């Protein structure tokens, strides 16, 4: 999920060399297409993994056992379908998967699918029978909610009992929520008739049954390609957790997430109760400008211009979305059932949808010495569009605007920034240093390559604070590490994720000659091809970046980050690069750490955040839950009271005095939607405790 991406490589002859297919015998392009496709795909993936991965695995029985375990976990994570006898039957293949992978064989996969589909049908009868009878929530009964602590059921009767407790727990949550909502309505003076406990319980079972009807319907609609992707990734993820196979449709979704661009209509859709519903309209999008499609509308059919409409009721959401998306300038006609029950055909001309909220934004924090604040949610880059936006240029523009507003210091917020473009990191660090190395990148063989900022100009030389947390990963960690190693600024927050690897996408279709067009498209392989290192020589892999000033966080005591991922590559060190630290540091780090700690220790809000983190840790470690309603309600109400305390304290936090930058205010004038989004961004920043502490740190050092 936190991937450092290099630019998509145009693969051709070079890809064939990298993958080694020039000397690798593939199937002749004949025979049944589906069987040939799976075999070709398997062999091409194996070649890519073996020849291009940073740390190739030895395909032996040990590898096979790892892949078997990983696949089994993903096939039936909650252990609600397969029996122990099924697993025992599959165990015969435990040491053979490496051989099947080499030979392009799918015997084990086919057997697992046969068993799973059989148990899927049986489980469907379980939940229907169980949800047909009322649950008794007065019994003293518990359930284990951590799948890793469960065992596969020894018999159909034992599995059915597991389903009973599992469904009872889900119904219990619904009943408790309904009781809580009803009590809140009573307190608010609602005159709506109260439901009896029996009616509430019956409603919970009815809704649960509807959801499971939908779930099983969708599971049965999954195609062989969906299951196959999961199976093949059980091999790929043994190499490391970021090496993955993407089926063609999955790669399209990834490109949208990474670039923030999509040619479509700008509506956020969700699958609910078997229907595709609109949950949100993106401001400024084609849907927003057309004006007729609204949140809550139900899309029943989709037509491409004048073509016959396709009924999408009961369709998987990814299939429905693929019909609605399309090229800029083309027309899609949506047959919609409005919230009021009326039917309408809505024509929309598709256009490029750009998610503005994913781009860099700035504010000015007022005071005798104003401080600039830049929020960067990702190191984005639009590799397919030469004129597309990228984070390096955008942040440079924000820095320039802040300088024009006479900002004495800058806070760069990288919290929850999962990474992105490597080149943009280099460009961004270069805004704050004269010149020199930013990061070292090492392939499996040969010395590390040093990526330098070659521009001697310092765009901003004032005090700098970089905010990070546990979800700051990959490119964010490079940025924070470089600033820290240069002693250019202060890193504030909690320890980062710990991802120190570089991935590259390979288009598998471009590896094969035209004679294999009949089995295309095959999809993409995302490979870990390099590791990156700080200029000090250490990698951030597993360990992340430890801030200069640590602040309490709700994740503080949880097992989190790259170190918790299975088969993560190890921490190591290489020779440091030659660099010169910032010659005139603006901060006395030890003094600022001491004054920050004193503030945090006195802060009731930070104290409650720490208490919340401890409770979350305790609840995570204790994975047994009561199925008795009174016990469950008591536990939930206790948690709610604790949460209310934190909310109450947060409400009393003094607000920062912030303002939009003059160019932004001018640009937003007259754009109601963009202005509303920016106002929401401003409101959140005003009450953000971590931004406030970063401001306090900076002001005590100015």
C-beta atoms surrounding 596 within 10 Å: 21
Residue 553 near residue 497, CB atoms below 8 Å: no
**Rounded to the nearest 5 degrees, what angle is found at the Cα of 444, between the Cα atoms of 442 and 450?**
15
For 123-136, give one letter per residue: b (16+ CB within 10 A) or e: bbebbeebbeeebe
Q: Is 206 left (phi over 0), alpha (psi -120 to 50) or beta?
A: alpha
Rounded CA separation 229/524 (Å): 11
* Residues in Cβ contact with 385 at an 8 Å cutoff, skipping those fewer than 6 apart: 259, 261
Residue 546 near residue 536, CB atoms below 8 Å: no
Among 31, 104, 26, 106, CA closest to 518: 31
Note if 474 is an active site residue.
yes
Q: Hey, which residues does 372 pair with through a beta bridge?
A: 364, 410
Q: Characterize the bridge pairing of strands 261-264 and 310-311.
A: unpaired
Note if 311 is an active site residue.
no
Note if 155 is an active site residue.
no
H or E, element range at 62: helix 61-75
- Report how far apart the first and last C-alpha atoms of the chain are (Å, whole number): 38
Rounded CA separation 313/273 (Å): 10
Residue 500 near residue 545, CB atoms below 8 Å: no
Looking at 16, 229, 474, 603, which residue is catalytic?
474
Rounded CA separation 288/415 (Å): 30
CA distances from 667 to 171, 663, 674 (A): 50, 6, 9
Rounded CA separation 608/597 (Å): 15
Residue 131 near residue 212, CB atoms below 8 Å: yes
Looking at 255, 485, 507, 553, which residue is catalytic?
485
Task: Report residue 597 as tokens.
Answer: 């700690």
Looking at 79, 277, 499, 593, which residue is catalytic?
499
Residues assigned a catalytic role: 474, 485, 499
């Amino acid at each position: 999920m936190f991937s450092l991406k290099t630019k998509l490589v145009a693969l051709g002859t070079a890809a064939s060399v990298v993958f080694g297919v020039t000397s690798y015998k593939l199937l002749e392009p004949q025979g049944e297409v589906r069987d040939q496709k799976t075999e070709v795909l398997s062999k091409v993936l194996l070649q890519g993994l073996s020849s291009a991965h940073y740390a190739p695995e030895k395909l032996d029985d040990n590898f096979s056992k790892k892949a078997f375990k990983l696949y089994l976990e993903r096939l039936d994570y909650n252990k609600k379908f397969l029996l122990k006898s099924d697993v025992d039957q599959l165990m015969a293949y435990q040491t053979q998967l490496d051989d099947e992978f080499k030979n392009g064989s799918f015997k084990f996969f086919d057997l697992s699918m046969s068993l799973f589909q059989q148990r899927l049908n049986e489980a469907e009868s379980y939940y229907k029978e169980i949800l047909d009878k009322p649950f008794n929530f007065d019994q003293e009964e518990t359930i284990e909610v951590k799948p890793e602590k469960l065992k596969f059921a020894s018999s159909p009767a034992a599995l059915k009992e597991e389903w009973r407790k599992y469904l009872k727990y889900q119904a219990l949550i619904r009943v408790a929520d309904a009781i809580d909502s009803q009590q809140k309505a009573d307190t608010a003076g609602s005159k709506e008739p109260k439901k009896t406990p029996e009616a509430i319980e019956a409603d919970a079972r009815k809704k649960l049954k509807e959801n499971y009807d939908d779930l099983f319907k969708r599971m049965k609609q999954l195609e062989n390609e969906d299951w196959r992707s999961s199976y093949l990734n059980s091999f790929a993820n043994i190499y490391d957790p970021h090496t993955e196979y993407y089926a063609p449709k999955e790669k399209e979704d990834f490109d949208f997430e990474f670039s923030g661009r999509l040619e479509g209509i700008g509506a956020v859709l969700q699958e609910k109760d078997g229907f595709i519903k609109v949950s949100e309209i993106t401001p400024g999008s084609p849907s927003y400008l057309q004006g007729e499609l609204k949140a809550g509308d139900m899309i029943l059919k989709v037509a491409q211009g004048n073509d016959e409409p396709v009924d999408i009721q009961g369709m998987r959401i990814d299939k429905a979305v693929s019909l609605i998306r399309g090229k800029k300038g083309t027309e899609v006609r949506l047959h919609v059932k409005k919230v009021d029950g009326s039917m309408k055909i809505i024509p929309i001309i598709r256009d490029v949808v750009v998610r503005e909220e994913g781009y860099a934004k700035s504010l000015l924090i007022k005071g005798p010495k104003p401080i600039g604040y830049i929020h960067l949610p990702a190191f984005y880059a639009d590799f397919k569009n030469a004129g597309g936006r990228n984070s390096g240029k955008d942040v440079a523009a924000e820095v320039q605007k802040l300088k024009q507003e006479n900002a004495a210091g800058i806070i760069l917020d990288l919290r929850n920034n999962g990474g992105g473009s490597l080149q943009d990191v280099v460009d961004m660090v270069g805004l704050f240093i004269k010149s020199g190395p930013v990061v070292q990148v090492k392939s499996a063989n040969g010395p590390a390559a040093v990526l330098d900022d070659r521009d001697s100009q310092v765009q901003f030389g004032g005090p700098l604070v970089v905010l990070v947390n546990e979800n700051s990963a990959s490119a964010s960690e490079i940025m924070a590490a470089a600033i820290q190693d240069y002693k250019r600024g202060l890193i504030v927050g909690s320890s980062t994720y710990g991802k120190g690897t570089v991935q590259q996408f390979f288009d598998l279709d471009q590896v094969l000659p035209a004679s294999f067009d009949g089995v295309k498209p095959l999809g993409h392989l995302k490979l870990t091809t390099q590791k990156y290192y700080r200029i000090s020589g250490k990698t951030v892999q597993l360990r992340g970046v430890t801030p200069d000033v640590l602040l309490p966080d709700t994740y503080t005591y949880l097992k989190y980050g790259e170190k918790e991922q299975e088969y993560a590559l190890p921490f190591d060190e290489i020779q440091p690069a030659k660099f010169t630290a910032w010659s005139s540091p603006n901060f006395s780090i030890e003094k600022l750490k001491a004054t920050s700690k004193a503030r945090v220790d006195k802060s009731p809000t930070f104290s409650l955040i720490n208490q919340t983190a401890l409770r979350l840790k305790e609840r995570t470690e204790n994975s047994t839950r009561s199925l008795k309603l009174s016990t469950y309600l008591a536990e939930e109400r206790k948690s709610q009271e604790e949460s209310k305390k934190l909310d109450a304290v947060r409400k009393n936090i003094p607000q920062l005095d912030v303002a939009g930058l003059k160019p932004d205010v001018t640009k937003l004038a007259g754009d109601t939607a963009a202005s509303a989004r920016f106002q929401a961004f401003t409101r959140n920043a005003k009450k953000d405790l971590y931004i406030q502490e970063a401001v306090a740190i900076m002001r005590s050092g100015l």
